[in-house]
Each structure stands twice: as structure tokens, then as C-alpha cells.
Amino acid sequence: MNAIIRGKPDNLDAIGERFDRARLAQPVFLNSVPKAGTHLIRNIMRMFVARDQHWPGEYIQHALLARSREAFRPDKPMISWGHMLFSDESAVALRDVRHIVLVRDPYDWVLARTRFYLSDEFQGRLNHIKDGGAAIEDVIMMMILGAHGAVPDLRDVFSMNAVAWMGSRAVIVRYEDIVENLKDLGSRRAEAFFGRLLADCGLELPADWRERVEAGADRRESRTASENLKVTAEVPKVLSDVHKRVVDYHVPGLRALLGYA
């Protein structure tokens, strides 16, 4: 059974019409570790790129690469998004694309992944763990070590969706840096941060950038924001010390490599 992700559509296409959005000269791909904040960076960037250059198809993943190559055409640049693991095929497909890779602190990622798998919005092979079917501590362990035949482990996800791209021309962006700068949009630090993000996408920072960022980052428009998920069990807000030690045992050095330790 293939996983199904449900949720209401957002209104950002209509909201974006109030901005004079720029045109891309080169394709841009917003890649991310799944559950690292994909909707956040995607929705922000939608406020800066002309609507007809938004990829109209599904989230691009390796299994869908063959039918998604139109997103990466240099003669018809578009901004697209997805979860593309590293491989020979994806490296070739993204050779001439401006490539952003979004990562997240593995400690927080485990909890975000737990909330998602326990939500009504996710329908897949682990539905039987919802509504208390499995203890929350055990579900968290599944998010770290994997569930046999159903869910890949943390090492596999981060190795192929993040670490492997670090040695390429991809630009690594941390979810936490986006969130921190959203809290301080009036600062020069935030202006520099979003200016770099746009420059990495081949765009200039417009005068009304703050209004655009605020519009795109509106959590009411994100179907996967934690408060918009119908979670079937209570998930801790902070990973326990034991689970943190399990993460460190499972992926020693990963948090340091990503700049979190």
C-alpha cells in the first residue's frame, strides 16, 4: 500500500498575486529531508517566484524522477520541490539546477516525524500504531531505528537525503535558521539570511521581502504545521534523554556534521 497524505489546499496562490514576483533564469529545486520543514521553505519561495514558474506536479522523489524531468529543464526554468535522495540519476538530473537542501536537527526531526506518522493526514502501512496502538515511546524508537519493511531508519534518511548532498554544489539550509530569522524579521541578520537564500535561488531581495516572507510562512496555510495535524496520540515536545542517546548511538557524528553540536 502506498502512503497517502491528506490535507486541505492552501490559499497561497491567491495571496501571492498581490506581489510582483520575479522570473527565474535557471531551474531551482527545493530538496529536503522529509519532515524537515519542506512546506515552510516552499511556501516562502512561492511568494518570490512568478506563478507560471511553479512546478504544477507532485512532490518530486527519486521514484518519480522519470516523469518529473520537465521540472529541471534549463530552457524552461521552474521552481520545484520534493525529497530527492542522492544517486547517479538524481545527480545527473540536478546538474544544472540551483539546488537547496533543507535539513533539521535530528532530535527535533524524530518528534516531527512521530507526529506526522500518528496523524490522520498520513495514511499508510503504520495505521495500526495510531490511537494508542503502540506506546508513544515505541513509536519514537521506530522513527529512529525504523520499522521493518515499513519505515526507513534515521541513518538511511539523513545519509541519502542530506549528507550525500553536502559534498556537492547543493546549498544546505537549516530549518532552525529559517525559524529563528522569522522571529526577528526586522533585524539585519534576517535580511542577510533571506537575502542569501534568495541569491542561492538566483533572485534579488525585493524591498517588500518581509511582507512576502510573512505571507509564505503563515502557519495557517501549511497543512503539515503541527497545529494543523490531527494527531491521534500525545507526542512529547522535547525528545527524552534516553531517545537522544539512542539517536547519538545510531548516527554518531551526524548532529555535529549538520552544525547542531
Tens-level pLDDT at each residue, the chain (261 residues): 345 555 567 899 999 999 999 999 999 999 999 999 999 999 999 999 999 999 999 999 999 999 999 999 999 999 999 999 999 999 999 999 999 999 999 999 999 999 998 988 777 788 888 888 999 999 999 999 999 988 999 999 999 999 999 999 999 999 999 999 999 999 999 999 999 999 999 999 999 999 999 999 998 876 555 555 566 678 999 999 999 999 999 999 999 999 998
The stretches of the chain forming alpha helices (DSSP H) are 12-16, 38-46, 88-93, 106-117, 136-145, 154-158, 164-166, 175-182, 188-200, 209-216, 241-250, 254-257
**Cα–Cα distances in angstroms (integers) from residue 224 to residues 6, 74, 117, 198, in the given order:** 9, 31, 11, 23
End-to-end Cα separation, the chain, in angstroms: 38
Q: How many residues does the chain have?
A: 261
Spatial separation of the C-alpha atoms in residues 125 and 117, rounded to whole Å: 10
The answer to whether 6 and 229 are in contact (CB under 8 A) is no
Among candidate residues 110, 104, 162, 102, the one with its CA nearest the CA of residue 139: 110
Burial environment of residue 188 by CB neighbours within 10 A (0 to 12, 13 to 18, 19 or more): exposed
Going by C-alpha positions, the residue among 78, 79, 47 that lies closest to residue 205 is: 47
The domain spans of the chain are: 24-257
Under CATH, to which class is 24-257 assigned?
A: alpha beta
Interatomic CA distance for residues 246 and 151, integer angstroms:
17
d(CA 183, CA 251): 30
| CA distance linking residue 132 with residue 259, whole number of Å | 35
pLDDT score of 252: 98
